[in-house]
């Protein structure tokens, strides 16, 4: 469930306003009392909103996607070997082209931790070493998750990692990365 701070703040304002309507008439229209009550209610609303939204963590759920015509069932080790340039396929006969996860993507930290098991710096050093020695080239980078999905949908032998929320009929989920 995704709740943004503004809608939660608006909800608490409505609750506070309804509660304020039941304050006795004699104290309700005292402007200084009104200011005190609204100030307290607003501070409580902001505190509760911050508390609730701070505890909600929006996490990405990365999935390995491929063109719908790709028929493989890879495991995490095969995906790691493909993204590190050690293999050209995921256990099938056809060579696959991995598409790199954008550095600004929400799935990037999970990709680094679960798939390649390297930090951002270690991965850059790894590819710099391979490129310098002529032993490999890094996966193609096409941009954000939307661009990766579009690229994989239009290029038959490509795979990419995106947030599961962006998966549609144009691509096939090959592996859930958890």
Q: pLDDT for 137-161, tens place per residue?
A: 999 989 889 999 999 999 988 999 9
- Which strand (E) or helix (H) includes residue 64? strand 62-66
Sign of the C-alpha dihedral computed for residues 34, 35, 36 and 39 taken in this order = positive
Sign of the C-alpha dihedral computed for residues 42, 45, 51 and 52 taken in this order = negative
Predicted confidence at residue 14, as pLDDT, reads 73
Q: pLDDT for 25-40, tens place per residue?
A: 655 556 566 677 777 7
Q: What are the residue boundaries of the structural domains of the chain, listed by start?
A: 5-55, 62-176
> DSSP assignment of 75-99, as one string?
-HHHHHHHHTTS-SSSSSSS--EEE
Q: pLDDT for 46-95, tens place per residue?
A: 777 676 665 554 567 899 999 998 888 888 998 999 999 998 888 777 88
| Ramachandran area for residue 134 (φ above 0: left; ψ -120 to 50: alpha; else beta) | left
Instruction: Return the CATH architecture of domain 62-176.
Output: 3-Layer(aba) Sandwich (3.40)
Tokens of 59: 């996490």
The pTM (predicted TM-score) of the whole model is 0.66
């Amino acid at each position: 469930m995704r709740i943004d701070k503004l809608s939660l703040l608006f909800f608490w304002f409505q609750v506070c306003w309804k509660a304020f309507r039941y304050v006795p008439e004699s104290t309700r229209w005292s402007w200084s009392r009104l200011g005190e009550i609204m100030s307290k209610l607003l501070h409580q609303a902001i505190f509760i909103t911050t508390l609730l939204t701070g505890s909600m963590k929006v996490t990405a759920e990365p999935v390995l996607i491929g063109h719908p015509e790709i028929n493989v069932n890879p495991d995490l080790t095969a995906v790691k070997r493909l993204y590190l340039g050690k293999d050209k396929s995921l256990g099938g006969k056809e060579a696959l082209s991995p598409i790199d996860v954008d550095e600004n993507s929400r799935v990037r930290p999970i990709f680094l931790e679960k798939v390649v098991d390297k930090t951002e710096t270690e991965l850059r050093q790894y590819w710099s070493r391979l490129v310098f020695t002529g032993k490999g080239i890094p996966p193609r980078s096409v941009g954000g998750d939307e661009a990766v999905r579009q690229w994989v949908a239009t290029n038959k032998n490509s795979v990419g990692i995106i947030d599961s929320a962006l998966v549609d009929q144009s691509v096939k989920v090959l592996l859930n990365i958890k």
